[in-house]
A and B are shown apart, each in its own frame.
Chain A
């Protein structure tokens, strides 16, 4: 399983990246100056409003499994983007690009997800 990588972004280019979904709270908790890409196995998914959550187990550089909490948009927005309650199964290997939590906890607001079949969801 790949380790996670951090991509530092510069300039205005980050604002051309896919628009975040309408949320029910501010996204100030997420660091929009960074993108983090993780690859891991889906451990759970909560298809709920106001937010859908994806949980991904990622093996870190020491071999320890870290559970990532990925906040997504609401159910109607996710359906419009092609993501349903059964799109990701437990154990699926996915690659998630996200804006990480500013406080360093393992999680963030998703930007794109590459599914096990290579399909990209944004």
Chain B
């Protein structure tokens, strides 16, 4: 067998469907995954595949660069290598909220270390995420996808299954493809440069479609007044230094799509980073009771990038270079710039908080019709 693409994908998917009656229902054979809720936490439903392996069955799904490229595309419906419980995914901490977590660590650090420019650690250079897992994406998780599903509340478990099934079939949704922001998760995974001062830490990064800036206030000014809080793409971050380690609390994060799962406006996180040689070691704990049945902690590991060619320095990037401007604003018949309204077919529904969900529902329906229209083989 081989990895599949276009017609090849259809043939392999069809063969997998024929096996429905021969074996147990799997995510690869089901005609209606919505009805399989009792199987979503069963490793056999995923044939022991990890989320990386499932997503890697499609061709060139860009999301993490490790899946689906031509040379490494996996056989659709093949057996995976996931091992139940191989990595502990739930938080080891007893805290019930990010605020409690942050305040406890801050108290343990006696309010934090007062640094001057001379005493701050040197975090200069260009960093790149190096392996390890990351909360919200579960990239590199050696566990079968069922372990990730088990972390999620029923609604988000269903969203997760829909996401990875569509992606395995070559129908992934990614914000960059629509010129939409990458969101909070990518603002961390794409972190390239860190500017450290006594009052503030900036992180800068860019993928090939977006730019990411985080401002972490370490001046003890705290979060903004709750009356004026609102969801922001990268949230609002405050932090303190515990010796040479930076601890960050982020709230007011705009709910979005984070790779293998999604998160809501309720997400709050606590991060901790410390430089060890040429590595920046960290961890993040995610608190989002709408999505996770328990808080999740994952390790973060960044390494210093050895690429030094001037032409490969970090760039400012914009997706609209390729994809063009928004259709929402247009030149009207009177010669004025105008905006589309909800009854216009090209209107962008700003109230749709899950555009990927809208995409997947429509993509599922169209893909079903496409498959059914294929000649029998």
Chain A, residue nearest B62 (CB): A23
- Say whether B322 contacts A50, CB under 8 Å: yes
Q: Is A53 on the interface with B (CB-CB < 8 A)?
A: yes
- Say whether B5 contacts A48, CB under 8 Å: no
Q: In angstroms, how far is the closest chain A Cβ from the Cβ of B330? A: 22
Per-residue CB contact flags for chain A residues 6-38 toward chain B (1 = under 8 Å, else 0) read 000001101111111011111110111100000
Mostly, the B contact residues are: loop
A25-B176, A49-B209 known; A33+B319 contact, CB < 8 A: no
Task: Give the complex CA separation of A20 and B73 in angstroms.
Answer: 11
Q: Is A75 on the interface with B (CB-CB < 8 A)?
A: yes
Q: Is B8 on the interface with A (CB-CB < 8 A)?
A: yes
Chain A, residue nearest B72 (CB): A19
A12-B2, A50-B209 known; A76+B312 contact, CB < 8 A: yes
- Say whether B170 contacts A26, CB under 8 Å: yes
Task: Give the complex CA separation of A82 and B65 in angstroms.
Answer: 20
B177 contact set on A, CB distance < 8 A: 24-26
Interface residues of B in 113-159 (CB under 8 A from A): none
Interface residues of A in 45-82 (CB under 8 A from B): 46, 48-51, 53, 74-76, 79-80
Per-residue CB contact flags for chain B residues 212-239 toward chain A (1 = under 8 Å, else 0) read 0000000000000000000000000000
Task: Give the complex CA separation of A17 and B71 in angstroms.
Answer: 7
B321 contact set on A, CB distance < 8 A: 46, 48-50
- Say whether B170 contacts A48, CB under 8 Å: no
- Say whether A31 contacts B315, CB under 8 Å: no
Task: Give the complex CA separation of A51 and B324 in angstroms.
Answer: 12
- Say whether B172 contacts A31, CB under 8 Å: no
A19-B70, A27-B60 known; A33+B8 contact, CB < 8 A: yes
Task: Give the complex CA separation of A49 and B209 in angstroms.
Answer: 6
A11 contact set on B, CB distance < 8 A: 2
Task: Give the complex CA separation of A113 and B360 in angstroms.
Answer: 35
Q: Is B51 on the interface with A (CB-CB < 8 A)?
A: no
- Say whether A49 contacts B5, CB under 8 Å: no
Task: Give the complex CA separation of A117 and B209 in angstroms.
Answer: 32
- Say whether A27 contacts B59, CB under 8 Å: yes
A33-B5, A50-B176, A75-B315 known; A26+B322 contact, CB < 8 A: no
Which of B71, B311, B315, B322 lies in contact with A51, CB distance below 8 A?
B322
Mostly, the A contact residues are: loop
Which of A18, A24, A48, A102 lies in contact with B6, CB distance below 8 A?
A102
Q: Is B165 on the interface with A (CB-CB < 8 A)?
A: no
Q: Is B7 on the interface with A (CB-CB < 8 A)?
A: yes
Q: Which size class do B's interface residues fall under?
A: 35 or more
Q: Is B61 on the interface with A (CB-CB < 8 A)?
A: yes
Q: Is B197 on the interface with A (CB-CB < 8 A)?
A: no
Task: Give the complex CA separation of A13 and B311 in angstroms.
Answer: 34
Task: Give the complex CA separation of A46 and B324 in angstroms.
Answer: 12
Interface residues of B in 304-341 (CB under 8 A from A): 309, 311-312, 315, 317-319, 321-323
B5 contact set on A, CB distance < 8 A: 28, 30-33
Q: In angstroms, how far is the closest chain B Cβ from the Cβ of A12? A: 5
- Say whether A24 contacts B209, CB under 8 Å: yes
- Max chain A Cβ within 10 angstroms of own Cβ: one of B3, B9, B59, B72: B59
A16 contact set on B, CB distance < 8 A: 71
Q: Is B264 on the interface with A (CB-CB < 8 A)?
A: no
Task: Give the complex CA separation of A9 and B7 in angstroms.
Answer: 13
- Say whether B6 contacts A32, CB under 8 Å: yes
Q: In angstroms, how far is the closest chain B Cβ from the Cβ of A108? A: 12
Q: In angstroms, how far is the closest chain B Cβ from the Cβ of A122? A: 12
A49 contact set on B, CB distance < 8 A: 208-209, 315, 317-319, 321-322
Q: In angstroms, how far is the closest chain A Cβ from the Cβ of B7? A: 6
A79 contact set on B, CB distance < 8 A: 309, 311-312
Q: In angstroms, how far is the closest chain B Cβ from the Cβ of A74? A: 4
Task: Give the complex CA separation of A46 and B65 in angstroms.
Answer: 23
Which of B6, B317, B323 lies in contact with A33, CB distance below 8 A?
B6
A20 contact set on B, CB distance < 8 A: 60, 69-70
Can you list 20 A-B pairs with a CB-CB distance of less than 8 A?
Answer: A15-B73, A16-B71, A17-B71, A20-B60, A24-B62, A24-B174, A24-B207, A27-B59, A28-B9, A28-B60, A28-B171, A31-B6, A32-B5, A32-B59, A33-B8, A46-B321, A48-B322, A49-B315, A49-B322, A79-B312
Q: Which 10 A-B pairs have the closest CB atoms?
A: A32-B5, A28-B170, A27-B60, A25-B177, A74-B208, A48-B321, A24-B176, A50-B208, A50-B209, A19-B71
Chain A positions within 8 Å of B, measured between CB atoms, are 11-12, 14-20, 22-28, 30-33, 46, 48-51, 53, 74-76, 79-80, 84, 102
